Structure 1
Amino acid sequence: MWFKNAKLYQLTQPLSFDDENLQECLNNVVFRPCGSQELATMGFAPPMPGGKELFHAVGENYLFCLKKQERILPAAVINAELADKVLQIEQEQGSPVGKKAQQDLKEEIVQRLLPQAFTKNSFTFGFISLKENLVIVDASADGKAEVLLAMLRKALGSLPVVPLCRSAIHAQLTHWITETPPAEIELLQEAELKAHDDEGAIVRCKNQDLTSEEIIQHIDNGKMVEKIAVGYAERVTLLLEQDCSVKRLKYADILKEENQDIPKDQQAARFDADYALMSAELIELAKFLQKTFALDDAAE
């Protein structure tokens, strides 16, 4: 249970959960498999493998898992079937098949093939920290995170959240290179810089000393940091973006090894312990970003 990405949100009003009532609320939006004529379904599933509850709590940190199932029906297969059917009709009738008729044929083909299609499952995890008024979603794109938030809102009745960062932090990230980063931050050797003019020139660098003269020259020419790879508190490394999105999270061995003494056959205990470690680290990271970039002040 280790998030690879983090979309960060802040609760605008405190929440409280009654575990029994929470389970009932989530049951109203529980996952069910695709029916024979459904392209996709989604709903909440137990976050813990083999578990029954639709949430997992450690202290006041509540973990949720949104499961989505899609039927795989490749466009190439549909188009090939359609082409054959259109050709057959045109040969029989001696006239071309119009666009509306082709669309109707395509829908018929989809309905006929759907029950035979394979299904693919995907999962989105996120947790709510009631104590810190934070919501953190393991997603690399806003759209995916927003789907989880929308489903939680549907289950709970409301979920008053806003993005943790509501204005770009280009300038502050750029200052980490030109000046001195916070003590908790170690600059790694990857960044993306962009010029904020009509041309919008972009420079991407890897395996590059970010304080080198070459990078400083790009900044002097007006480019600002869009993304930067950093280490935080010697416990995680990540790619931090100008909207405070966190990607490519990697956790230090010293962190993961804290739970190595839990036997492999005790999956529930290991899951619980890993989630406790991971959620605590991400909460600390979010609080660090709040403080460093004065996000609470910017929201006022």
Structure 2
Amino acid sequence: MQYTGNLRKMRVSANDDCVAQYALPIGEHSVDMNALIGRELTVEFHGDIHCVNCDRKTKKSFNQGYCYPCMMKLAECDTCIIKPELCHYHEGTCRDPQWGEAHCLSDHFVYLANTGNMKVGITRHVTDGISSRWIDQGATQATVMLRVPDRLTSGRIEKLCTQFIGDKTNWRTMLKGAAEPQDLTGLKQRLLAELDEELNKIAQDKGLQAFSTVDDTLHTINYPVDTYPVKIKSLNLDKTPQFSGTLTGIKGQYWMLNEDRVINIRKFAGYNVTLSVE
């Protein structure tokens, strides 16, 4: 089997057994990656990169798939996407107010996750209890802490939480094995108690509907991994335009290959490649 086209980040979901499911968009194809665990793969990068927004050919990819002009003008590439507490829609300076209304002025969830280390984060969607963001980050456990009405509020609360817990995933730790279970429910209760005064200030500022607590459901996510790497060797299509190997697992947006090699598929969105499966 052979598939050629521009890469996109893998689409993710969870099945009824809470096992992460991966589909790789490559050109017009959607490849079931779970079915390829244990198979021999070859990836060849043809040297062309196309912007995931405008399809312009670009020598370098920015923000995981955009050309430089799109990176500078699109709302989804603004600084406030990485730092939601800096959302400036309310100041009338959003790059694309219509996009902001659809993506920033809707309910957001502040969550806690175990990605090898415990972290706080935000997401817009929790479908059937599982957020695709949790899977993208390789979380093995997650629970929703608060539901809030907009991105700015979620960012303010996330920033408050970082006084006590990190907001980043250590991707190397995440890829080195199944994380030890953590008491996220207990952490949630401790954080809510620690932040009670600050949360009340936000409620006074935003109104009584500024946020609402969510039940203490703890979600567990499993990943299609046969073998975890021992000493991680990261592959880069710019430096290694062709590689082959046995796919031993998928976690987050990473493929794991034999000989302890890993590659972050999301990083190479827009790259024109051929995927061959033996």
TM-score range, shorter chain: under 0.3
| Higher RCO (C-alpha under 8 Å, 6+ residues apart) | 2
Larger Rg computed on CA atoms: 1
Structure richer in helix, relative to its length: 1
